[in-house]
Amino acid sequence: MSAPESPSSRREFLRLAALAGFGLGIGNGLTSNAEAAPDPRALSFSGIKEIGKTRPRLAGAKPVWNLTTKPMEKVRVAFIGLARGMTHVDSALNLPFAEVIAVCDLLQDRAENAAKKVATKTGKRPAVYAGDENIWEKMIARDDIDVVYISTPWEWHVPMCVKSMKAGKHAFVEVSAAVTVDECWQLVDTSELTQRHCVILENCCYGDSELFVLNMARQGFFGEIKHAECAYIHDLRQEQMYRLGAEGAWRRNYHTFIDGNLYPTHGLGPVAQYMGINRGDAFKYVVSMSSPEFNLTQFRDKNNPNGGRHKDEKYICGDMNTSLIKTELGRSIMIQHDVVSPRPYSRINALCGTKATFFDYPPRLAVDGKGHGWAYEGDKLRAFMQENAHPLWKKVGELAKRVGGHGGMDFIMNYRLLDCVRQGVTPDMTVYDAADWSAILEISACSVKNGSMPVQCPDFTRGGWKELTPLPTVS
């Protein structure tokens, strides 16, 4: 898939991106002799014949699906990008086995505020890296960091992950972990070469509903699992798409040159874990189609956001993208993406088996032999879910709600993933999951471009999924 030209200039896009996340960009007068910021339009997109090819493992590389590391008393963490990244800082500050070593952001004030919060909480001020778009490289060169959190615009995820792993650090990266399939292979290859974890920070895998369904699926409650439905349906036009200083400074740009599912992992991550994707099953191919594009253009023309600076942007991403995934075991997954329509928020979060079916938003549960409707809903279902809550929520759910972050799921995620590093065990989500879930972005766009033709999914485990079983933490 090739990226068509857009009327909006690259320099203006990168200048605005300098206000978001880590805020990396050129044209801000803060750098000298620095590498050019990544241009998302220059990413390497694959053709329909090449996209699904499985690449050979590099010489000297070893699988990391069961990678264990040396246990440690405290996990030393650093953070790049302190907009979304502050939620992860807050989590670390409430974990007795985590220590915040350094914080990094292009904006000096943002970095200083983060350091002040850490110092107030712990009595120890972390190192501050700010004011230069490449200053993060100095931070990851330190020898007192175990994990680097990356919460930056998408085009920076892979460069930062790769260099962090090569510097001996585990990379914890926000969603999506990558934009293209080629980038996904870079993450897999680097993780296998360096024997460092590359973990996608998919917080929705740790919601109370999602962990309840996972817990029940692992116990066989649903019987033979055959179908799932998921989505990211969230009207972001007013809240985010044109808000400078946040994701609106860069995320909207992807709507100008990609037509597909631009944000697959929130819905897909949990159902992939329910189904044991990469551990007993795998994605086989994707069929995708998009509706026409209406709402982003209409909102822009009606509201004239930011004084009209976006008037020449042409959006090509359809308002609703619907993709169907077929797995190697013959199961099916429907995944949708719509961030521009006036619709209630939903991730659907549905799982259908031979014995039971769960649908979320609102949560409902049908059980074979208990009538033709929903056997559990409302107060009855809430009680049933609480009784069968996942051990993680039973253990730290109350603390998670106090710390906050998307209803506590952010804290649960960070608690669990950093505790895996502390223990030296394999995290719940490996680099193969980061690659598989993120690759749907380009694969769906490739299918849309080719008349909704089936597009083969690459096998990032290189056949490993056939012998692997789910990790104990999700049993």
- Give the SS3 label for residue 104: strand
Q: Rounded CA gap, 383 and 376, in Å?
A: 9
Q: CA separation (Å) from 91 to 166, 400, 431, 464?
A: 26, 9, 22, 33
- pLDDT in tens for each of the 475 residues of the chain? 444 333 344 444 444 444 444 543 322 222 333 455 688 888 889 999 999 999 999 999 999 999 999 999 999 999 999 999 999 999 999 999 999 999 999 999 999 999 999 999 999 999 999 999 999 999 999 999 999 999 999 999 999 999 999 999 999 999 999 999 999 999 999 999 999 999 999 999 999 999 999 999 999 999 999 999 999 999 999 989 999 888 888 999 999 999 999 999 999 999 999 999 999 999 999 999 999 999 999 999 999 999 999 999 999 999 999 999 999 999 999 999 999 999 999 999 999 999 999 999 999 999 999 988 899 999 999 999 999 999 999 999 899 989 988 989 999 999 999 999 999 999 999 999 999 999 999 999 999 999 999 999 999 999 999 999 998 765 4
Say which DSSP state 10 is in. Answer: H
Q: Rounded CA gap, 263 and 347, in Å?
A: 12
Q: Collect all residues with Cβ–Cβ distance below 8 Å to 333 and sequence separation of at least 6.
A: 227, 228, 229, 230, 268, 271, 272, 275, 324, 325, 327
> Could you check whether the bond before residue 362 is cis, i.e. omega within 30 degrees of 0?
yes
Is residue 468 within 8 Å of 461, Cβ to Cβ?
A: yes
Alpha-carbon dihedral angle through residues 216, 221, 226, 231, given to the nearest 10 degrees: -30
CB atoms near residue 301 (< 10 Å): 10
Tell me which architecture the domain covering 205-390+430-474 has in CATH. Answer: 2-Layer Sandwich (3.30)
Is residue 230 within 8 Å of 334, Cβ to Cβ?
A: yes
CB atoms near residue 417 (< 10 Å): 24
Q: What pairing do the DSSP bridges indicate for beta strands 283-290 and 321-327?
A: antiparallel
What's the whole-model pTM score?
0.93
Closest of 207, 194, 227 to residue 431, by C-alpha: 194
Q: How far is C-alpha 218 from the geometric centre of its chain's CA atoms?
A: 23
